[in-house]
Structure 1
Amino acid sequence: MDTTQLLKGVLDVAVLAVLRQEDGYGYDIVRRLREAGLGDVGDASVYGTLRRLYAAGSLSSYVVPSEGGPHRKYYAINPQGRASLDQQAAIWTEFSAAMSGLLDPSESASPSIGAE
């Protein structure tokens, strides 16, 4: 299965989750995502996601001087980003349970996503 489309749908939450653990700069975040098992994640996709999350107010940033090269722009999750991550994690848990039930009918059924 091509994971490209799946990654597009979860990249925001994956980046927020990585930054919840520790602040990071662009390539560091890409590396951490890949080490976590998202090997197909692209550099450009992550950089675009960082810019979008920052513009949306979910991240803050700061610059750290570097002796051996250009300064690095670090990103940090802020309270708005934590709230967004919590909300998206709950949605993911529900969605994942629904998909698991579809893929393995022997698992107990769960309420439908978005059901009121």
Structure 2
Amino acid sequence: MKGDAVRGHLDGLLLAVLESGPLHGYAIIAAVQERSGGALELRTGTMYPALNRLERLGLLRSSWQSVGERRRRCYELTDAGRRTLAEERTAWDEFTRAIGAVLNPAPAPGRAT
């Protein structure tokens, strides 16, 4: 899939994979890749600035967790993030219906297909 396929949808993707609970950066990348059947691959240079922006907006919160001697930042949704995710889903449904109506129009009544 084209690298710019997630442009405009990155926030929704990140919020969606964090809906089930906190994840660290590489787990977020893996979740997006797994859910998309390998079609979507996030780059760290794209994802981390987006996570930081979503945190500044109050849609995510993060905390440092230690795993052995390593520390990693974990991100989780806030209540505002859950509301925004619901809005993203509604917008996505409307968008896909509109595009689908253009790409796959229903045959006009009475016309043979």
TM-score normalised over the length of structure 2: 0.85
- For each residue in 1:28-49, what CA deviation from the matched residue of structure 2 results, as whole angstroms up to 9, or x when unmatched? 1011101111433222211111
Letter in 2 for 1:34: Q
Secondary structure at the residue paired with 1:40?
A: coil
- For each residue in 1:14-63, what CA deviation from the matched residue of structure 2 results, as whole angstroms up to 9, or x when unmatched? 00000002210011101110111143322221111111101111001111
Secondary structure at the residue paired with 1:20?
A: coil
The percent of aligned pairs where both chains have the same amino acid is 27
2:18/2:75 contact within 8 Å kept: yes
Quote the RMSD (CA, aligned, Å): 1.8
**Correspondence for 1:114:** none
1:74 is the counterpart of 2:74: yes
| 4+ long deviations beyond 6 Å | none
Secondary structure at the residue paired with 1:71?
A: strand
**Correspondence for 2:111:** none
Paired with 1:107 and 1:66, the residues of 2 have a C-alpha distance of 58
TM-score normalised over the length of structure 1: 0.83
Which sections of structure 2, spanning at least 5 residues, go unmatched? 109-113
Q: For 1:1-116, list aligned pairs within 5 A.
A: 3-37=2-36, 38-67=39-68, 69-106=69-106
State the number of aligned residues.
106
